Structures are given as structure tokens and as C-alpha cells.
Amino acid sequence: MPALNACLKVADIAEVSGVPYVENVAKVAVVIFEFLAEKGENKESTKELCESIANTIIVIDTLVRMQGELGAAYFMGICGEMEGYLQAVVQNWKDIKHKPRGLEGAIDIDGFRDTIQTYRRRVDDLKTDFLIKITGDCLLDVMQMHCLLKDHSREKEYFVIRIAKNLLQSVPGFVAVTVAGILFTLFCSSRG
């Protein structure tokens, strides 16, 4: 049942994601799911494969939604690459289907699963790289703000920090908490 739920989630992403490159890879994945449901001989391996593809696409969609435009450059390439791979698999299966021998033994589930797991690891690596970049950018901004506040606090007894709401909404939670902690520390150190 979890595999069915994951596949339905991918079908939903294909329809309403709003992010073209995520929608495209989800649409191709839905074609793969339909094909495997129809032709897959080893039901357990087919189920695991569908679940793996679905989970990878769900992770990509979730990350793209969380990170908005900031993450687009990171995930557009891998979505295009994964879409191309899945389309090539579908085309290969269609070509084999028209041969006299048919699809017997033509679907290498294990090799296909390994490739999908490789994409999943790459998505996780991209997520980590993106979070490191965001954290570094935030720390750089905080250091610049600290220098400005240090110079400014010599002139006045108080200062105000304003952070746009959309900035904090687009930054992952632990980064926002880290930045808030750094700002508090800077505030306390500049007063002392």
C-alpha cells in the first residue's frame, strides 16, 4: 500500500506542482509506473522500484517548494537528467515491445533500481550543498551586519534589526535559528 500512496503522490505532483522541471520528471515517472504495473513480472522488485522512484521525486518536489527560487539552479539539472534517463528507458521498452521476442527478460529491475538510487544520493548531496551555501551566505551577511552595527552603536545607544519575513520563510529552520542566535550574541557583545 505505501508504494501505491507514493505513486499517487507523484501523479499529483505531475498535475499540480507548478514547477515545470519537477512536473516533467513526475509525468515520465507516472508512465514508468503504469508500464511496470502492466508488464513487471517480479511484483516485489517492481513495487520497490516504483517506491524508490516516487520517493526520489517527492524529495525533489519538497526541497524545491521549501527553497523556492534559491534552489532552482540546484535541482533543475538533476530533474532534466533524471527525466532524460526515464524517457530513454520508456523508449527502449517501447522499441523492445515491437520486436518479435517481446519484453521477456528485457526489464532489468536491479540495474534500473541502482540508477534511481544514484539519483537519490545526488539529490541528497545537492540538498547538503545548498544548505551549506545558504548557511555561509547567512553568516557572511551577519558578519557584515555586525560590522555596521558596531560602527553604528558607537554613535547611538540602541539599534534595530529588521529582517524581511520572506527571507526567514525561505531559509530552512535550523539556519534561521542559527542566524537568530548569532544576532543575539552580536547584540549582547556590542552592548557590553
Mean of the per-residue pLDDT values of the chain = 71
Backbone angles phi, psi at 181, to 5 degrees: -65, -40
Tell which wins on pLDDT, 146 or 170.
146
- In the numeric block, the cell 501505491 is attached to 4
pLDDT score at 178? 57
Straight-line distance from the first to the last Cα atom of the chain, in angstroms, rounded to the nearest whole number: 60
pLDDT score at 163? 55
Q: Are 143 and 183 in contact (CB under 8 A)?
A: no
Model-level pTM greater than 0.85? no
Q: Which amino acid is at 90?
A: V
Q: Which amino acid is at 60?
A: I
- In the numeric block, the cell 526541497 is attached to 63
Q: For residue 90, give every residue at least 6 positions away whose Cβ sits within 8 Å of its Cβ, in sequence order, or none.
A: 28, 31, 32, 35
Exposure pattern of 153-181 as b/e (b: 16+ CB <10 Å)? Answer: eeeeeeeeeeeeeeeeebbbeebbebbee
Q: Cα separation of 58 and 74, whole Å?
A: 16
pLDDT, mean of residues 149-170: 55
Q: Are 106 and 42 in contact (CB under 8 A)?
A: no
pLDDT score at 99? 64
Give percent of the chain with pLDDT exceeding 90.
0
For 61, the enclosing helix (H) or strand (E) is: helix 43-67
